[in-house]
Amino acid sequence: MTFERGRGVIPSSFFIFAGLISVVGLISCNKKAGPSSSTGASEPSALVKRGRSVYQTQCIACHNSNPRKVGALGPDVYGSSRELLEARILRGEYPPGYKPKRETHVMGRLPHLKSEIDAIHAYLNSNE
Ligand code: HEC
């Protein structure tokens, strides 16, 4: 058995090729380093984003992570009015004359969310 290797098998054009690839690589890296943040009008507002994060952490144990759908325990809550959210979350009640989607009283009060009602309301009435 012989392990002879030819000398000069790699033609010099290989090095030119390799050089070209690294130059192209450098150029495309530079392009990526450009400004990345786009402030499109379709971006949800800061309030909506905040409401989404509150909802996705505090509510989806029972409600669906998609507020338009019925959850494991709670009903769909998309489009809830501010009055309903405030009454339900802070006081465990419903606004006068409101017909609840469920007759049960499983959901407890969550008074620590007092300052988040506006955000939750914005999220539940957005197109997010
Ligand atoms: C422990 C489970 C649980 C958690 C957590 C919970 N909910 Fe509920 N929610 C329910 C249930 C169950 C109902 C149906 C009424 C009942 O049994 O209390 C309900 C009812 C509601 C209603 C009234 C719907 C209607 O139109 O009748 C709203 C609005 C609501 N929840 C919003 C929220 C929001 C917003 C959060 C988070 C801040 C939340 N809930 C957290 C279980 C929960």
Q: What pLDDT, on a 0 to 100 scale, did the predictor assign at position 80?
A: 98
Note whether 85 and 117 are within 8 A (CB).
yes
Pocket test for ligand 1, best of 52, 53, 59, 85 (most atoms within 8 A of CB): 59
Q: Is the CB of 61 under 6 A from ligand 1?
A: yes
Per-residue pLDDT tens listing for the chain (128 residues):
555 555 556 566 645 555 544 555 444 444 444 344 445 557 899 999 999 999 999 999 999 999 999 999 999 999 999 999 999 999 999 999 999 999 999 999 999 999 999 999 999 999 98
Pocket test for ligand 1, best of 48, 88, 116 (most atoms within 8 A of CB): 88
Q: What pLDDT, on a 0 to 100 scale, did the predictor assign at position 31?
A: 46
Among residues 65, 110, 115, the alpha carbon closest in space to that of 89 is found at: 110
- Compute how many other C-beta atoms are within 10 angstroms of the C-beta atom of residue 112: 10
Using CA atoms, how far apart are residues 20 and 5, in angstroms rounded to an integer?
A: 27
Ligand 1: which residue has its CA nearest to atom 34? 59
Q: What pLDDT, on a 0 to 100 scale, did the predictor assign at position 115?
A: 98
Q: What pLDDT, on a 0 to 100 scale, did the predictor assign at position 11?
A: 60
Residue type, 84: L
Which tokens in the block code for residue 44?
């949800």
Q: Is the CB of 68 under 6 A from ligand 1?
A: no
Q: What pLDDT, on a 0 to 100 scale, did the predictor assign at position 43?
A: 83
